[in-house]
Amino acid sequence: MTNKLLFFNPDYFASLFEKISKKLDKYNGIKHYEMYSSSNKQTTISYEEGFIKKAFKKNSSGMGLRLIGLNGKEGMTFTSDYSDSAIERIIKDGRIMMRVSTENPEFKNLAIPSKNYNSVEDIYDPEIDNLNLEEIKDIINPIFDLKKKEIALHSLSGNFSSSIQSVYIFNSNGINQNEKKSSVNINSEISLLGNSGFPSSGFSWQSESHLKDLSVENVAEKSYQMAYRGLDKISVETGKYPVLLSPLAVAFFLVDPISKAINSEAVQHKMSFLGDHLNEDIGVKSFTLIDDPHIPGKLSTSSFDCEGVATKPIKIIDKGVLKDFYYNSFTAGIEGIETNGHASRSHYSSTLGISNHNLIMSEGKEKWEEILSGIKKGIYFDYTGDSPNYVSGDFSGLILTGSLIEDGKITKSLSEALIGINLLDAFKKIETISKERIWIDEAYVPWVKLSEATISGRK
């Protein structure tokens, strides 16, 4: 097996891909080929009740090989072994799979090199690369310090993980790209036991590209405060209420569904509630959403996508108008247009997909607390674990964390409250957007007030 240090060396993969290309060029039946390799160095620590339960380091690397024959027939194989015998095996298996696969007349071509690639900054943090377990224990101590709070914890768990990933992409059209990135994640899950005898749960997390941007103290305090507020819950009467969405709710309830619904594969298969609304008004004029892959130091910053195509900023929603969908080379080929750099892969062994980069929502003119102060009676919506119907846009789900707003103040937490609204209606009911915005993973989002939504309380 190759020395693991070589897995992060671009020269090693350039040499490997050149060797594989020479082998593939000998076979007349192969019309196109693509090699995608990823290498990952990961450290993970999980903890319970203030003690480290498990800790491990893992280095992994592998390559996926796609072979395309006549009429779009495709064979895909992969390996985590770069030895000569393993390479010969995946080439042989890929050719067999290509020959017996179904014809795909919709396939036009693999990705072609872009004319310009924007260099991106601060996506690799050597401090994360050099972390040791003793340093990580010091980093997560603020989570353990929650045990010192006035109300004792009923349970405490979570994990810390860091990752260094390198990606190498090469294809027969001349794509040849590589990039090295870092990421770090911390999460905290706790529960408190109140006078009622029933536990109340709280959670929080943060993911960043740089260790310096991680605030473990903030994650710990947010998880505790969520659980603390939940010790005193009330039911609300069913009805229509103004709803103030926290940035977390905006990210997962408004923005994330948009990023999934503008997936061109879903649109082409009539599986998206936004598929028939391109260049139409879908929201209020104050609603703008941009996908920007070039913001320094952010999780989804990259100079190219998972096919090696240059990334570029695009406007998804411009003053309420839906302007674009996400494409990879295959879905773009179906429509006879160029891909806009949104190809994705979850793993070197996975098939090609589509996903977003950094998502930036427009800011408003009022501070979020000023928006809150103007709500006499309403709902503060923070998080739901439920997802909308991406075909219809309908959403009906449990507000896992949310509170009643009374006379401009957030008061008691909600018990078993449901929110119901169609997302197209929600975009039109955006009444106010806050001046402040914060990062939730790869989304930069404000507080948003909806004029109304149906809230169903427990009977």
Rounded to whole angstroms, the Cα distance separating 248 from 443 reads: 9
Q: Which two tokens stand for residue 194?
A: 């109140």
Using the predicted structure, report yes or no on whether residue 187 has a pLDDT greater than 90. yes
Confidence band, pLDDT 50/70/90 cuts, at residue 193: confident
The three-state secondary structure class of 193 is strand
Q: How high is the pLDDT of residue 5?
A: 63
Q: What is the mean pLDDT of residues 286-312?
A: 98
Using the predicted structure, report yes or no on whether residue 1 has a pLDDT greater than 50. no
pLDDT tens for 263-294 read 999 999 999 999 999 999 999 999 999 999 99
What is the residue-averaged pLDDT of the chain?
Answer: 94
Q: How high is the pLDDT of residue 151?
A: 84
pLDDT tens for 235-246 read 999 999 999 999
Percent of the chain at pLDDT above 90?
88
Pick the CATH number of 4-224 from 3.50.30.50, 3.90.1010.10, 3.20.20.70, 3.30.2290.10: 3.30.2290.10
Domain boundaries, the chain: 4-224, 233-254+363-456
Query: Buried (b) or exposed (e) across 94-114, using 16+ Cβ within 10 A?
Result: bbebbeebeeeeebeebbbeb
Rounded to whole angstroms, the Cα distance separating 162 from 167 reads: 17
Q: Does the CA dihedral 363-368-371-377 come out positive or negative?
A: positive
Using the predicted structure, report yes or no on whether residue 359 has a pLDDT greater than 90. yes
Using the predicted structure, report yes or no on whether residue 4 has a pLDDT greater than 90. no
pLDDT tens for 374-388 read 999 999 999 998 999
Q: How high is the pLDDT of residue 340?
A: 97
In 3D space, the residue among 100, 82, 86, 111 whose CA is nearest the CA of residue 29 turns out to be 100
Q: What pTM was computed for the model? A: 0.94
Q: What is the mean pLDDT of residues 330-334?
A: 97
Q: What is the mean pLDDT of residues 184-201?
A: 87
Rounded to whole angstroms, the Cα distance separating 425 from 142 reads: 42
Residues 77 and 70: beta-carbon distance below 8 Å: no
Say which amino acid occupies 196: S
Q: Which two tokens stand for residue 68?
A: 């395309």
How would you classify residue 72: left for phi > 0, otherwise alpha for psi between -120 and 50, otherwise beta?
left
Q: Which of 52-56, 115-119, 361-365 has the lowest mean pLDDT?
A: 52-56
Rounded to whole angstroms, the Cα distance separating 263 from 280 reads: 17
Q: What is the mean pLDDT of residues 344-369?
A: 96
Using the predicted structure, report yes or no on whether residue 133 has a pLDDT greater than 90. no
Using the predicted structure, report yes or no on whether residue 194 has a pLDDT greater than 80. no
Confidence band, pLDDT 50/70/90 cuts, at residue 213: very high
Q: What is the mean pLDDT of residues 65-82?
A: 96
Using the predicted structure, report yes or no on whether residue 362 has a pLDDT greater than 70. yes
